[in-house]
Amino acid sequence: MTAKIAYDEIEVGTVLPAQTFPVTRATLVRYAGASGDFNPIHWNEKFAKEVGLPDVIAHGMFTMAEAIRVVTDWVGDPGAVVEYGVRFTKPVVVPNDDQGALIEVSGKIGAKLDDNTVRVDLTAMSAGQKVLGMSRAVVRLA
């Protein structure tokens, strides 16, 4: 599968469709099982608070994975992402209720690069706070 977006048709500033991703405690348990990361800060409220966190927090790599979905859904091919990196700025706090937390992700084309690639700048927010900084992906387009 190749990217369905043509490099020549994209301009710097093009906005990708924003998405919101729900995160519950059950989501964190499933992710822990898939990733093998059973750190108690991701499931044990008492432990999380004892180490100075406000509550259980989502795995950083889970948050990072949810954010890149905005890019992969837009481009139509996860293999088109040739580089991706973030800085973790704030944790996604996941309360023990039926609502959980939301990760709100938006993106835009920050630069057109060589070899039919573009840099996508992502913004990931939760509870009004930026949870990822310097979140950028390089994507090869058609």
Q: What is the pLDDT along the chain (142 residues), one digit of tens a residue?
A: 667 899 999 999 999 999 999 999 999 999 999 999 999 999 999 999 999 999 999 999 999 999 999 999 999 999 999 999 999 999 999 999 989 999 999 999 999 999 999 999 999 999 999 999 999 999 999 9
In a domain, 37, yes or no: no
Query: b/e for 33-60, b at 16 or more Cβ within 10 A?
Result: eeeeeeeebbbebeebeeeeeeebbbbb
In a domain, 102, yes or no: yes
Please name the residue that has the structure tokens 């729900």. Answer: 22
In a domain, 136, yes or no: yes
- H/E stretch holding 105 reads strand 101-112
In a domain, 34, yes or no: no
Indicate the number of domains in the chain. Answer: 1
In a domain, 35, yes or no: no
Reported residue count of the chain is: 142
In a domain, 112, yes or no: yes
In a domain, 125, yes or no: yes
The CATH number assigned to the domain holding 78 equals: 3.10.129.10
**Closest of 101, 84, 90, 106 to residue 28, by C-alpha:** 101
pTM of the predicted structure, to 2 decimals: 0.94
Structural domain that includes position 128: 7-23+60-140
